[in-house]
Amino acid sequence: MDETTTTDDTGTVGRDPATGGSRALGLLRNPLHVFLVLGVLAGVYLACVVPHFGGVDETAHFYRSYQISTGQFVPEKPAGSQFSGACIPVDVVLSVDRDAFVYYGHLISLQGKHLPADAPGPTAADVKRCAGDPSTGFVSFSTFGSPVPYIPQATAILIARKAGLGADGMLIAGRFAALVVYLLLVALAIKRAPRAKWAFVATGLLPAAIMQASSSISHDAMTTALVLLVVSSALRAADPPEGTRFRNTVIEAVVLGVLLGSCKPGYAAVAVLYLLPLFGHLPDGVRRAQVVRERWPLVLGPIAAVITTAGWNAAVGDLWRTDADYFGIQTRPKVQKHQLVHAPWDFATDMVRTIWNEILGWIKSLADVGPSVTHWGWVIAFLVAAVYAVNALQRDGDEPTAVPIAQRLLAFVAGAGALVVILAGSYVYYTEPGNSVITGLHPRYLVPLTVLVPLIVGPLRFRWANAAKARVPLAALLALVVVFFCVSLTFRMY
C-alpha cells in the first residue's frame, strides 16, 4: 500500500505521512475531541461512582441548589443564628444525613478508625426545625454563591423533585446537569480560542476541575467554565477572525463580564484580559494611541465584571460567614479588614510567605485532589502535574506562537490580581489576627487561574510538543493519567 494511503478496501488503517503516525492517533491530535472524549468518559464515570454527598462540600451545595430550585435566591438567616442557610423538607434532610453518615464512616476508616456497630444514625429528632413550618428543617452552610452558577443544578433538581425522585435522584440529576453545562462551556472556549487551545484542555481536565464538575454540584465548576470562556473570548478579541464586528466583541465582553462577576468573587480580575488588543503588535503606520482610541470600549468588560461581583457581595455580605470556627480558627474580620487597609505591607508579606510555603502543596492538590480521593504520594502527584503541564504548553499545529511581552505581562497581572483578591478574602475571613501565614485557601480555588500560566510562559517549540506533528501526541499521556485518576479514586473512595 502506498505511504499516502490511509485505508485499503477492507478499511485497514494505514500511515499518515503528514503526522508520521496512523489515523488512529488523529483523535489525540485534536484538542476539542480530546477534551470532549475524556471529559465525557471521566465525568460520567465520576458522577455515577463518587459516593452520594461524597463530593467536595457537596451537601452544602445540594442544599443551596435545592433552595434556588424553590425560587429562594438569597439564603435565609433566622434570628439568633450565626450562619445563613435554607429550610428544606425534613425527609430530604434525613435522606441526605443518612448518606452523609455512611460516607463519614468510610472517611474515618481511612484513618484506621471505625464507627461503633451500634452508632445511632440520623433521626428526625436531630433535625432543627424552621420557625413557622415544622415540616422543614433548617440547614446552614458557611459559604454560598449567587444563583447564577447554580442554575443548571437547581433546574435539574426542580425537575427531579417534581418527578418525586427523592434526594438521591435529585443529586444525580444535579451532578449530570452541572457536568453537561461545564463540558459545553469549556468545549466552546476551546473551539473559539485562536491560540493556546491545549491550555484550556489541560485546565478543563485537571483532576480537581473534573471532580468539581461531576460530583460536587458546586458553583466552582461553573466558575471555572466561565473563566475559561472569558479567557478564550479575550484571546479572540485580540486576534479576531476576519469579518468580526467590533461592536459584537464589546457586547460579548460585557455579557461575559457580568456572568463572570456573578460567580465566586475574585475571578472578575481575569476580565482585564479584554484589554489584550491594546497591547498587541502594531501594523505598519499605526500608532498605539490610535489603537487605544478605537478599542477602549473593551474596558467595559472588566468594569461590568467588577461592578457585578462587588454589587452581589455587598448585597449579601451580612449573610456570609466562614466555617473557620469549626476548625478552631478564631477569626476577627473587622480587625483583619482594618489591618488590610491600614497596614497592607503586612498582608503583602504574609501573602508572599504563604505562597512560598504552600505552592508545592497547591500543585499536588490540583493533581490528586486530596487524601480522601486518591492518596497519592508526592512523586506520583508531581508526575501527574508534569503531564498536565506539558500538555498545556503544547501547540495546536500552526497556531501563532509570537505573543508580545506586554500581553504576557497583562495575563500575569490578571492572574496575580485574582490571586491577591482571593488571598485577601482568606486573610480577612479565615485567618487569625497575628498569624504570619494566610489560612483557608483551598487549592481548588486556583483551578481557573491555571489556564493563564501557558499564556504567560508561551508554548513549547519542540516538534514533540506540536500535537499535529509529534509522532505520538502528548495527549496520549493525558488520557492515561485521567484513567489512572478514576481508578485511584474508585479504590480510595470505596
Reported as a single tens digit per residue, the pLDDT across 154-196 is 999 999 999 999 999 999 999 999 999 999 999 999 999 999 9
Question: Are 97 and 126 within 8 A, CB to CB?
Answer: yes
Task: Give the pLDDT mean for 127-153.
Answer: 87
Name the pLDDT band for 328 (thresholds 50, 70, 90). Answer: confident
Task: Give the pLDDT mean for 127-152.
Answer: 87
**Does residue 156 lie in a domain region?**
yes
Cα separations in angstroms, 7 against 21, 27, 241, 468, 470: 13, 16, 35, 20, 21
**Does residue 127 lie in a domain region?**
no
**Widest Cα–Cα separation across the chain:** 82
Q: Is the confidence at residue 87, as pLDDT, over 70?
A: yes
* 69: Cα within 13 Å, side-chain hemisphere: 23
Task: Give the pLDDT mean for 102-119.
Answer: 87
User: How many domains, the chain?
Assistant: 1
Q: Following CA atoms 390, 394, 400, 406 in sequence, which dihedral angle do they give, to the nearest 10 degrees?
A: -10
Close Cβ partners of 486 (under 8 Å, ≥ 6 residues apart): 42, 45, 46, 49
**Does residue 114 lie in a domain region?**
no
Residue 315 CA to residue 448 CA, distance in Å, equals: 25
pLDDT at 330: 86
Q: Is the confidence at residue 296, as pLDDT, over 80?
A: yes
Positive or negative: CA dihedral 64, 69, 73, 76: negative
**Which residue type, as a one-letter code, is found at position 106?**
H
**Does residue 233 lie in a domain region?**
yes
Question: Are 150 and 68 within 8 A, CB to CB?
Answer: yes
Tell whether pTM > 0.85: yes
What's the grid cell of residue 19? 503526522
Which is nearest to 262 in space by CA: 272, 254, 273? 254
Task: Give the pLDDT mean for 308-314.
Answer: 90
Cα separations in angstroms, 353 against 245, 333, 439: 46, 21, 11
Close Cβ partners of 348 (under 8 Å, ≥ 6 residues apart): none
Residue 146 CA to residue 261 CA, distance in Å, equals: 10
Distance in angstroms between the alpha carbons of the first and the last residue of the chain = 51
Q: Is the confidence at residue 150, as pLDDT, over 90?
A: yes
pLDDT at 22: 63
Name the pLDDT band for 23 (thresholds 50, 70, 90). Answer: low
**Does residue 272 lie in a domain region?**
yes
- Percent of the chain at pLDDT exceeding 70: 94
pLDDT at 11: 40
Question: Are 197 and 432 within 8 A, CB to CB?
Answer: no
Residue 189 CA to residue 185 CA, distance in Å, equals: 6
Q: Is the confidence at residue 256, as pLDDT, over 80?
A: yes
Q: Is the confidence at residue 10, as pLDDT, over 50?
A: no
**Does residue 85 lie in a domain region?**
no
Residue 181 CA to residue 254 CA, distance in Å, equals: 21
**Does residue 133 lie in a domain region?**
no
Question: Are 318 and 81 within 8 A, CB to CB?
Answer: no
Positive or negative: CA dihedral 469, 473, 474, 478: positive
87: DSSP letter: E
Which is nearest to 148 in space by CA: 263, 47, 53, 258? 263
Q: Is the confidence at residue 285, as pLDDT, over 80?
A: no
Residue 99 CA to residue 119 CA, distance in Å, equals: 15
Residue 428 CA to residue 337 CA, distance in Å, equals: 6
pLDDT at 143: 64
* 347: Cα within 13 Å, side-chain hemisphere: 21
Domain residues for the domain of 452 are: 15-75+141-315+330-493
How much is the mean pLDDT over the chain?
A: 89
Residue 237 CA to residue 233 CA, distance in Å, equals: 6
Angle at which helix 333-342 crosses helix 405-429, to 10 degrees, equals: 140
Residue 185 CA to residue 209 CA, distance in Å, equals: 13
**Does residue 129 lie in a domain region?**
no
Residue 211 CA to residue 367 CA, distance in Å, equals: 11
Question: Are 16 and 179 within 8 A, CB to CB?
Answer: no
